[in-house]
Amino acid sequence: MYAKRLLILGLFCCLPAISMAQQASPEATVLTLEKKWTDAYKSRNITLLTSMLADDFIITVEDGNIYGKMGYMAHTADTSTQVDVAEESDLKVRMHGNVAVVTGAYHETGTSKGKRYEYRDRLTDVWMKIDGQWRLIAAQYSVPLAQ
């Protein structure tokens, strides 16, 4: 009986350490949010996208257009574009306090106004922890010049 109590007490003492070890690092959390954001964009999940973006969010897309949060939602909801593939790779996260800067590669294919398109971009996304939640505050997607 004593051994059983000691085992139970030992388990309770370890719970805080186990719980802390299971918490994701800020980098891992931001990488998860990047995937979630890309998937929400592809599926036009405007509700999820809206919840992930800061109110003063700004994005520059491949053609040089710049959108704020509402403009980006309208751009994403445009049914004349069908996104078939949206994927990120080679992502790196750099932490600066409550700000995370993500750089990497982005690949997108689809159809826009009846014409096929394909982008192979470089990206920079900036996330900030606001009121305890990570929000995307800025994004830049650009097509590298041919070499």
Q: How far apart are CA 31 and CA 94, in angstroms?
A: 11
**Residues 73-107: pLDDT tens digits?**
998 898 889 999 999 999 999 999 999 999 999 99
Q: Decide if pLDDT at 9 tops 70.
A: no
Tokens 């704020």 locate to 68
Give the sheet arrangement for strand 81-96, strand by strand: 66-68, 53-60, 133-142, 115-130, 99-112, 81-96
Give me the pLDDT at residue 7, please: 41
Closest C-alpha among 40, 144, 134 to residue 90: 144
The two three-digit tokens of residue 92, written as one number: 């790196």
User: Do 102 and 37 touch, CB atoms closer than 8 A?
Assistant: no
The two three-digit tokens of residue 111, written as one number: 């159809």
Give me the pLDDT at residue 145, please: 75
Asked: is 24-142 a CATH 3.10.450.50 domain? The reply is: yes
pTM above 0.85, yes or no: no
Average pLDDT value for the chain = 87
**Residues 11-48: pLDDT tens digits?**
444 444 434 445 789 999 999 999 999 999 999 999 99
